[in-house]
Amino acid sequence: MSLLFGVGVAFLSLVLAARGQKTEPLSGLGDQAPFRGADRYDFAIMILPGGTECFWQFAHQSGYFYFSYEVQRTMGLSQGRHITATAHTPKGFLIDKSQDIRGQINFSTKESGFYQLCLGNQQNHFASVQVYINFGVFYEGADLENNQRNEERQKLNDTLDAIEESTRKVQINIFHMWRYYNFARMRKGSDFFILQSNYNYVNWWSIAQSIVIVLSGILQLYFLKRLFNAPQVTDPRKPRC
C-alpha cells in the first residue's frame, strides 16, 4: 500500500507540474533572464509532396518580425515550385499568407508569445521541394535584456549616450546587411539548382538524339542493302520472253 501511495503521489506531482508549464518564457524570476532562443534563423528544409512544415519563434511585444522564403528546387514528377506560407499569432489568428516561388511576410509583434510559421506543399502531390527560409525578430534600440538592466542604472552622460546611439545604428545597419546577404544566398542557391537542372536536361536530350540518329542511320543502311539484294537465278528459273 505504501508503494502504491508513493507512486500515486509522484504521478500526481508530475501531472500538476506538466499542467503548470506555460508556452512562453517566464518573467519575474529575479535576475535570471527568460530563455527565448535565438532571434534569427536561416536554413533549408525539404517538404514532402502534399506535406506541411511549421516552426515557432518567440517574440516580445513591440518587435519587428520578418519571414522570407524561396523554393530552390523540386524533385519528383511535377515541376511546380509554388508553395503556401502562412504566419499566425500566438493565439492562432492568421496574420498574412503568401503563395509564390519566393516571398516575404513582415509585421510588427503586438503581443508576446510564440508565433507560428508554416510552409505547405499542397499544390505538388508528386514532387518534393527544397525551401530556403530566413526568419526572426529584432527590436529597435538595444537588446531586451540590456534594456531591462539599463532601466535600473543611472543615466549615462552625453558622451556615452552618443557612443551608444552610434553603436545601435551600426548594429541595425549590420543586421539589415545580413538580411540582404541572406536574400543573395537564396537567389544564388536557386540559380545554381536551375543551371544544374538545365545542364542535366541538355545532356540527356543530346544523348537521346544521338541514339536516335545512329539507329536511323543503321535502319536506312539496312533497308538500302535489301533493295540491292538480287536473288541468284539458275538456268531453269530464268524468266522467259
Contacts of 68 (CB under 8 A, 6+ apart): 102, 103, 104, 105, 133, 134, 135, 182, 183, 186
pLDDT of residue 69: 92
pLDDT at 182 (0 to 100): 77
Which spans in the chain are helix H?
A: 2-20, 144-152, 158-227
Cβ-count burial of 47 within 10 angstroms (0-12 exposed, 13-18 middle, 19+ buried)? buried
As beta bridge partners, residue 103 has 69
The predicted structure's pLDDT at residue 93: 93
Q: Which band of pLDDT confidence, cut at 50, 70 and 90, is reported for residue 131?
A: very high
| 76 Cβ neighbours under 8 A, 6+ residues apart | 49, 124, 126, 127, 128
* Residue range 7-43, pLDDT digits in tens: 444 444 443 333 333 334 444 444 444 455 567 888 8
The Cα 123–Cα 230 span in angstroms is 63
User: Grid coordinates representing 224?
Assistant: 538500302
pLDDT of residue 6: 47
Phi, psi of 171 (to 5 degrees): -65, -40
Alpha carbon of 88 to those of 21, 72, 145: distances in Å?
A: 22, 24, 25
Q: What is the mean pLDDT of residues 43-55?
A: 91
For residue 171, pLDDT over 60 is answered with yes
Sign for the CA dihedral angle at 163, 165, 170, 171 comes to positive
Question: Which pLDDT band, with edges at 50, 70 and 90, does 179 fall under?
Answer: confident
Architecture of domain 39-155: Sandwich (2.60)
Most confidently modeled of 92-96, 162-166, 178-182, 226-230?
92-96
Cβ 64 vs Cβ 137: under 8 Å: yes
